[in-house]
Structure 1
Amino acid sequence: MGGGTPRSSIGHILPGAGFLAVGLWHLFSHIRLFSLRPGAYVAPVWFPAPRVRHLELILIIAGSAVEFAMEMFVDHSTFLPFDADGSIPSDRLHNHEHAIICLALLVYAASALHLDRVRARCRGTLSVLLVAAVFAQELLVFHFHSTDHAGLEGQFHWLLQLVVAACLATALLGIAFPRSFAVSLVRSACITFHGVWLMVIGAMVWVPSRVSKGCSLVQEDGRDTVRCHSKASLHRAKALANLQFGWYLTFMTVFVVALYLYVCKRYPAEAAYVRVPEASEEEENLEQRKCGALRGGDDVRHGFTPLEIEV
């Protein structure tokens, strides 16, 4: 019987905390932007911070790089991710798969940052496509995972796939409907819930004291996993996982509604006015419309840029 490894739990809780932080930041920022200017709302891909414009992207780059290094080099008998002949060891396949997700996040954040700095054409559209690529990569990895996510562990990860699929769908819808506040709200809520559920997996699957009654942590193929002692115990454990998902989803819904009401009350709509754009701005707006929509990092509407959004 395994005692559970800190890496197994932390490896889900820390990334979950990252998704939770980004999701909450986007939830608040989207609601605030919509509340202040409902008639001019266009969903940004990311939100600039007050003093460090690219802080959100920088933190995503740093977190993804650290997690990539942890998956590839740390917490193993050898720091080398490959065998002497250059092949991937069987017990390291799941680490390489997790590292691919980290790499996709890193590519998105670094690309979005660079596109914004050079003010590339269609940078907003490209950035949201990169976001969709991240969730597509994650969904692919978890659906065809080399690790046998069977039993209770498989149930938690199957429910996680539902959340990732919702994130992917809303990211793609954001390309077609950049002015839809509903799409942005649901996407932000899904990212937040993604983080919550990752943390739940880390706590309920790999913390021995939290494992469902009738089940225990065992070590198989060099890793800890949950195995239930009978079919009845497995059925009960899966049912409890489903109940947890439902409870957290309900709490998330109530939280989003409460946050929406609070932010709208705290930041009432501004008085509408129109500033005549300069010739250079008209040219840039025309170019951006050709790309499909104005987005985060390149909005110029009613005399405001994302940097002027007080956050």
Structure 2
Amino acid sequence: MALSEQDAREFASIFANLVDTVGFALLGKAHVVRLALTCLFSEGHLLLEDAPGTGKTALARAIAAAVNAPHSRLQFTPDMLPSDITGVTIFDQSKNSWDFHHGPIFASIVLADEINRASPKTQSALLEVMEEAQVTVDGHTYATPKPFMVVATQNPIEQAGTYRLPEAQLDRFLMKTSIGYPPHEQFIEVLDGAAAPDRSKQLRPVIDGPTVLQLAAAAATVYTDRAVTGYIASLAEATRDSEHTRLGVSIRGAIGMVRCARVWAAAQGRAYVLPDDVKALAEPVWAHRIVMDPDAQFAGVTATKVLTDALASVVPPAQGQA
């Protein structure tokens, strides 16, 4: 059954409360917070790429604090092993049996800090759990908690000794965005509170894990007209047909857009998706999935430019149709 207007308004109220709560720890970044929470309610994973000290870790901590659910942090290093993420089976002499010791991935909100510093083998272990929401060790399968969201970070500045995520693995992330530096007035406010820089410790939970699942299920029923899904398909195809790309938006990326657009609409108190929702989410949901042609990349053409051209060339459906 499609989401009702009343349910959409209730969703928007809770969403706004979460934005305000998380925003207390990340001043002047309400849009980034909305994107992160949209990713949470879309049951996807978020990749944050930004310079050091911009609040990537603070955002993940604030989301974990606002959602009363288990959370953990993984600090990736070159010598990290897959078992450091998933856990390991150890023989218990007192019981004369093998016991599985759960790794830090078994949490609802998992912060994977500097993911590009780990080896490809370790990265693959994390990304496999992200896709399957379960871990298989020694023939036994263990499900991760629900909800389950990975907030991964990477530093684009220092590339020495790092392992770039391949395009197929980037596609596993529902969104990729950056935080950036705060506006001047908020920057001063941050400096005024420098004695207690981690404001996430002052946050109180707004909702719990089961409520997140209920809200995610409700948002998934937001009405999406066939004209809007056709618009999404045409945009994805336009990125594939572009002369500047070697690989455009995948089917997984298009499905992810539908999921995100539904949450974005509900967060604004609407029980239906508009083409404007798709336009607002195009860059964070799709830009990291586009692989540029080497010649176009050398000429300075970016994935953002490809998306801008697609949005300009594909005519959106009229509001009466959507």
Instruction: Check whether TM > 0.5.
Output: no
Q: Could you tell me the TM-score, scaled by structure 2's length?
A: 0.29
Structure ranking higher in helix proportion: 1
Q: Could you tell me the TM-score, scaled by structure 1's length?
A: 0.30
Structure ranking higher in strand proportion: 2
Structure showing greater Rg:
1
